[in-house]
């Protein structure tokens, strides 16, 4: 599934969704998202972001594509096809992502840059595809930018303690083939590539980066895995189980919320379906989201569009 939105000046952002639907048990994925919090916010969460009957969070796996006059940029590359993974949502999937990309004028050979927020399995999958039994770079003319800290950590054996399947095979089938071909560059906080500025966003992984694009008077932030659910906006203490440094992840989330609310930057999270993304607004002592439709979370925070 794809959704496209014009950014002005001939540029477009395209959300390419490999999977969208209820996946994980809410408290398994986010132990601090208590039943009481979810039920109190059911009016705006239910069905779109949380399925109350099964207590599953709605989650998407996706790629962000930005088409500009002089560059075609992918921010992260989803799960990819034919990869052996423990997660049933990622294991040996087969989606027509490349056909969809060709349909919007972004055939694989046209992609100029791949920017990684981090190197987890669901963010590097389309880096490669299986051709004649070999993992081959999918975007032959692109330069792939990888956070240096993540690469250093994920390629060290001790980093695999959390979830071995997220590292060993991922590096082998989706990262190393790119490095071996000389197509990768390291990227760090403050670096700028094709107009995208990398900002450190550690916590989910040590080297996680988010990417800020100023275009047509707007700041758009590709916010990676700082958020896995919109419930983390009014309740920023809620982490996912995959956030490796839990307290640092909260600090990073708080900083990004403060920045987004102050500057009216648009956030495009990695796991939320909806090409329009979020506007963050101040609400009492905390924050709320401006979605495309006004809604009331029922917890005292006011939700609605901000423009
Ligand atoms: Zn992720």
The DSSP-derived string for 17-73 is EEEEEEEEEHHHH-TTS-HHHHHHTHHHHBTTTEETTTTEEEEEEEEEEEE-SS-EE
Residue 294 lies inside a defined structural domain of this protein: no
Distance from residue 214's CA to the centre of ligand 1 (Å)? 24
Residue 118 lies inside a defined structural domain of this protein: yes
Could you give the angle at the alpha carbon of 151 between the alpha carbons of 207 and 260, nearest 5°?
25
Per-residue pLDDT, 165:
55
Distance from residue 205's CA to the centre of ligand 1 (Å)? 10
Distance from residue 67's CA to the centre of ligand 1 (Å)? 22
* List of residues 6+ apart from 93 with CB closer than 8 A: 18, 19, 79, 80, 81, 82, 83
Domain range holding 72?
2-281
Residue 287 lies inside a defined structural domain of this protein: no
Using CB atoms within 10 A of its CB, is residue 182 exposed (0-12), middle (13-18) or buried (19+)?
Answer: exposed
Q: Is 245 helix (H, G, I), strand (E, B) or coil?
A: coil
- Token pair, residue 7, equals 């950014």
Residue 271 lies inside a defined structural domain of this protein: yes
Distance from residue 9's CA to the centre of ligand 1 (Å)? 30
Distance from residue 127's CA to the centre of ligand 1 (Å)? 15
Distance from residue 7's CA to the centre of ligand 1 (Å)? 25
Residue 298 lies inside a defined structural domain of this protein: no
Q: What is the value of pTM for the model shown?
A: 0.92
Rounded-to-5 percentages of helix, strand, coil across the chain = 25, 30, 40
Residue 171 lies inside a defined structural domain of this protein: yes
Angstrom CA distances, 143 to 78, 115, 179, 184, 289, stand at: 17, 9, 10, 6, 34
Distance from residue 204's CA to the centre of ligand 1 (Å)? 9
Residue 292 lies inside a defined structural domain of this protein: no
Per-residue pLDDT of the chain (307 residues; tens, 9 = 90+): 899 999 998 999 999 999 999 999 999 999 999 999 999 999 999 999 999 999 999 999 999 999 999 999 999 999 999 999 988 999 999 999 999 999 999 999 999 999 999 999 999 999 999 999 999 999 999 999 999 999 988 887 555 555 555 567 899 999 999 999 999 999 999 999 999 999 999 999 999 999 999 999 999 999 999 999 999 999 999 999 999 999 999 999 999 999 999 999 999 999 998 999 999 999 988 999 986 444 444 444 433 333 2
**CATH code for the domain of 100:** 3.60.15.10
Residue 286 lies inside a defined structural domain of this protein: no
- Token pair, residue 157, equals 């054996």
Which of 145, 138, 142 has its CA nearest to residue 185? 145
Distance from residue 122's CA to the centre of ligand 1 (Å)? 5
Distance from residue 270's CA to the centre of ligand 1 (Å)? 7
Distance from residue 300's CA to the centre of ligand 1 (Å)? 30
Into how many domains does the chain fold?
A: 1
Per-residue pLDDT, 299:
42
- Total residue length of the chain: 307
């Amino acid at each position: 599934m794809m959704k496209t939105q014009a950014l002005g000046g001939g540029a477009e952002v395209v959300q390419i969704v490999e999977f969208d639907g209820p996946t994980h048990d809410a408290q398994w994925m986010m132990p601090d998202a208590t039943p009481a919090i979810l039920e109190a916010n059911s009016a705006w969460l239910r069905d779109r972001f949380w399925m109350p009957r099964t207590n599953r969070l709605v989650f998407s796996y996706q790629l962000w594509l930005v088409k500009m006059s002089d560059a075609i940029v992918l921010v992260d590359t989803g799960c990819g096809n034919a990869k052996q993974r423990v997660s049933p949502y990622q294991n040996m999937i087969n989606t027509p992502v490349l056909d969809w990309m060709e349909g919007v004028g972004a055939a694989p050979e046209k992609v100029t840059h791949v920017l990684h927020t981090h190197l987890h399995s669901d963010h590097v999958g389309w880096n490669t595809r299986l051709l004649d039994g070999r993992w081959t770079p999918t975007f032959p003319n692109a330069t792939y930018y990888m956070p240096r800290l993540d690469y250093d950590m994920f390629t060290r054996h001790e980093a695999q303690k959390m979830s071995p399947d997220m590292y060993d095979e991922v590096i082998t089938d989706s990262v190393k083939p790119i490095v071996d071909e000389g197509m990768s560059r390291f990227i760090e906080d403050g670096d700028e590539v094709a107009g995208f500025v990398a900002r450190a966003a550690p916590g989910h992984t040590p080297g996680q980066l988010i990417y800020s694009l100023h275009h047509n008077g707007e700041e758009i932030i590709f916010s990676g895995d700082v958020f896995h659910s919109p419930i983390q906006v009014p309740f920023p203490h809620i982490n996912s189980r995959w956030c490796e440094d839990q307290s640092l992840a909260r600090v990073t989330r708080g900083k990004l919320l403060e920045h987004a609310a102050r500057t009216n930057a648009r956030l495009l999270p990695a796991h939320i379906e909806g090409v329009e993304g979020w506007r963050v607004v101040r609400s009492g002592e905390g924050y709320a989201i401006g979605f495309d439709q006004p809604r009331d979370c029922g917890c005292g925070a006011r939700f609605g569009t901000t423009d």
